[in-house]
Chain A
């Protein structure tokens, strides 16, 4: 009985981690889109650096999704 509850808890834990990381990935996509929109509206010297940062961030978000699926 206790083992079964433990198993259910693990499933809830894992699925909430996966769901969280997927939501974060969607959010990072929004960030990329918005940085693109901002840099299009206002052009300054370091815009390319900011775009690069937004892409690095989305790479980490994808990595997080894989991490939650693989190691949890």
Chain B
């Protein structure tokens, strides 16, 4: 006797299980291709927008985690301290016109100028370190924000991709619009409700990548549920 195939009358043990679909290698390759198409390539290691960096890593990185994107504030945001450094470098030359240190003996003047150049160096060095090590990282599993404040305080914030709820960007002002950099706000359901990427270049690309990662994550989650 043949069994009924009508869904309404079918017994629970008659239900056919859907075929198990595992994410194939091809799916993974196409995912990476899509990410690369969005992000493009990075030429300079000093870039604020490092795509798939080969050398870069961070202490909290998992062994099976892949870094897709490393972001630093746009180079234009460094212009103010670069100009101040240049001004500080040439400031002692003004002493020939404005005799501020004439009351001091020549050996004191020499030490004061050496001191001044050391301060100039450390000012620029500290600003550079602050730019270089305050990074925003997008991996295939999470987004990470590493901040070092005044060379002493380290802040580490992260949110898993599946906990991202909303991503918005803001490009406000003349120079941000001109050089295409701005703010990316990532709202999460994690312990830290919001992660902010400040002054990052190409905010629209970052949003696209995060969207792609979320979709990929959802697909994996749904395929895991069906298994």
Contact = CB atoms under 8 A, between A and B. Distances in A.
Partners in one complex: yes
Interface of A: 13, 17, 20-21, 24, 27-28, 30-31, 34-35, 37-38, 40-46, 50, 53-54, 57, 60-61, 64, 67-68, 71-72
A54 B45 CA distance: 21
Chain A to chain B: the 9 pairs with minimum beta-carbon distance, closest first: A34-B151, A38-B133, A45-B55, A43-B57, A41-B59, A71-B107, A45-B45, A44-B56, A42-B58
B114 interface: yes
Contact of B132 (A28, A37, A50): A50
A34 B152 contact: yes
B111 A72 contact: yes
Contact of B115 (A21, A31, A57): A21
A50 B154 contact: no
B175 interface: no
Bin chain B's interface residue count: 20 to 34
Interface of B: 45-46, 53, 55-59, 104, 107-108, 110-111, 114-115, 118, 121-122, 125-126, 129, 132-133, 135, 146, 148, 151-152, 154
Contacts of A24: 115, 118
Given A45-B55, A60-B118, A72 B151 contact: no
A13 B105 CA distance: 11
Contacts of A43: 55-58
Nearest to A30: B151
Nearest to B61: A43
Contacts of B132: 44, 46, 50
A34 B45 CA distance: 22
17 contacts: A17-B108, A17-B111, A20-B115, A21-B115, A24-B115, A24-B118, A31-B125, A38-B129, A38-B133, A40-B59, A41-B146, A50-B129, A57-B118, A57-B122, A60-B121, A68-B111, A71-B111
A38 to B, nearest CB: 5
Contact of B55 (A41, A44, A53, A71): A44
B154 A37 contact: yes
A45 B59 CA distance: 15
Contacts of A46: 45-46, 132
A60 B58 CA distance: 31
A49 to B, nearest CB: 11
Contact of A53 (B114, B118, B125, B135): B125
Contacts of B118: 24, 57, 60-61, 64
A31 B133 CA distance: 14
Contacts of B129: 34-35, 38, 50
